[in-house]
Amino acid sequence: MTKQNIGSLLMISLHGYVAGSPELGKPDTGGQVVFVLELAKRFARLGYRVDVMTRQFEDQPAEDIINENLRVVRVPFAGKEFVRKEDMHDWYGDFVTNALAMIRAKNLHYDVINSHYWDAGVSGQKIAEELQIPHIHTPHSLGWWKEHDMTGAGDEEMAGYRFEERIQREFVLYRNCDHVISTTEQQTDLIVEHYQLPKEHITMIPPGIDEGRFMPATPGKVEDARARHDMKDTDIYVVGRAAENKGYDLIIEALPKILELQPDARLVLAAGANSESDIALLNQWKQTAADMGVGDRISWRGYVEDEDLADLYRAPGIFALPSRYEPFGMTAVEAMACGTPTVVTVHGGLFEQIEFGKHALIADPKRPEEFATMVNMPMQYPWIRETLAVEGARFARRVFGWTGIARRTLQVFEHFKGRYDDLQTEDMLLG
């Protein structure tokens, strides 16, 4: 591809701390941020110019130059303080206005917009309409699914999510954008059923992993990782943000049964907590553990440094994903790629792509005995552990490597690229 033919892409991801080296574990900064940046890096490697547009707040610079083809561009709106994604509903118009002003002032040109999550989707649709270019949207999660999964939560907690407004905006967004990229078959089915979008308007492309980083290690390196991070082969590792949907309380409730089956087991729980509400959740989980008499069988870890991620996946005996709700489950794929036997939740999309007993084990974390039994299996039977370690890593790396995911995504972009060229030409002639 010659330089003058390089396509130019605008990726929009508004919430959280988006940066060339994101501070993972901070509020609203986890799997989606990794997803967007890794995909952007592969687009850049494949010859596309990419701007990742996000919100500027606190003391963040206006842009980060990552390489010749990739930068993070920040647009200020909603003040200087961090704002949760659930609280940004009323600010999207300001983002659209400021983003368009910047694009026009700098004479920027994009062939396609790819937005991530509904906040960026609603904004990205307005920008695409103004610029008359295609807009491809990736939902990551669905308002209907999250509201349905939170049935039984208190009125005050539910009100903070403004589900009625979110679902209505998603409904209109999916019809107005040029195409939707879902990340699981289950998500596709939910969009078809509950948002009544024709299935031909959706392409399913799963998230990817950095196959050059998340890989199995030699036994010696695994032992070194265990010594460095105080872990052993009877440890069950869980990692993620402090959030209700992650199901940390569910695996704590399963721990007595796990200990009955494996007396040497220990839960290593790395739940990043940054806000007062996060800390309150952690304290609640610690109280649950104490009430169940298993507080001394849990190692509470905080944020995981980015350079330690792969070794921490390799060090335990088991990786568990006990989420109540998990659109995909990036951490489980990364753990599998590192050769660690993994148990995933049935409440998400990843389990549909896995061959049970070969790639990973699957269980319902809302059924503590069932989840405990699956966690125990690889620790009790070496042949199961060895099968999951080898086949799980092979499956994760072949199916979810980022370069392959990027190529599949670009095929969708290229299909719509140039759709509005006639309109742009007409505007120039009329102008």
Question: How many angstroms separate the CA atoms of 339 and 209, rounded?
Answer: 14
92 in the same domain as 75: yes
Decide if 416 is inside a domain. yes
Q: What is the pLDDT of residue 1?
A: 36
pLDDT score at 343? 97
- Which residue carries 């695409």 as its tokens? 128
**pLDDT digit string (tens) for 88-107?**
888 999 999 999 999 999 99
According to DSSP H, which parts of 343-430 are helical? Answer: 368-380, 382-400, 402-416, 421-430
* 366 and 412 co-located in one domain: no
Give me the CATH number covering residue 58: 3.40.50.2000
Is residue 213 in a domain?
no
Pairing of strands 8-12, 112-116: parallel
Q: Is residue 214 domain-resident?
A: no
Whether residue 119 has pLDDT greater than 50: yes
Residues 230 and 186 in one domain: no
In a domain, 318, yes or no: yes
Range of the domain at 344: 219-400
Q: Is residue 41 part of a domain?
A: yes
The CA distance from 30 to 268, in Å, is 19
| Residue closest to 123 by CA, chosen among 182, 32, 54, 71 | 54
27 touches 67 (CB < 8 A):
no
Residues 381-390 have pLDDT tens digits of 999 999 999 9
59 domain-assigned: yes
Predicted pLDDT at 208: 83
Q: Are residues 97 and 180 in the same domain?
A: yes
Residues 230 and 378 in one domain: yes
Same domain, 419 and 365: no
Rounded to two decimals, what is the model's pTM? 0.68
Q: What is the spatial distance between Cα 351 and Cα 356, in angstroms, rounded to a whole number?
A: 8
pLDDT of 2: 37
Give dist(CA 20, CA 5) in Å, integer.
25
- The amino acid sitting at 209 is I
For residues 49 and 171, membership in a common domain is answered with yes
Token pair of 280 as six digits = 């309150």
Q: Is residue 149 part of a domain?
A: yes
H-state helical runs in 106-142: 117-131
- Average pLDDT over all residues of the chain: 91
Do 26 and 175 fall within a single domain?
A: yes
Examine the domain organization and report whether 269 and 377 are in the same domain: yes
In this structure, the answer to whether residues 296 and 364 fall within a common structural domain is yes
pLDDT tens track for 300-328: 998 888 889 999 999 999 999 999 877 67
Phi-psi region of 243 (alpha: psi -120 to 50; beta: other; left: phi over 0): beta
Confidence of residue 425 (pLDDT cuts 50, 70, 90): low
Q: What is the 3-state secondary structure (H, E, C) of 186-252?
A: HHHHHHHHHCCCCHHHEEECCCCECCCCCCCCCHHHHHHHHHHHCCCCCEEEEEEECCHHHCHHHHH
Domain count, the chain: 2
Does 242 reside within a domain?
yes
Q: Say if residue 204 is in the same domain as residue 305.
A: no
> Who has greater pLDDT, 356 or 348?
356
Claim to verify: residue 240 and residue 192 sit in the same structural domain: no
Instruction: State residue 352's pLDDT score.
Output: 81
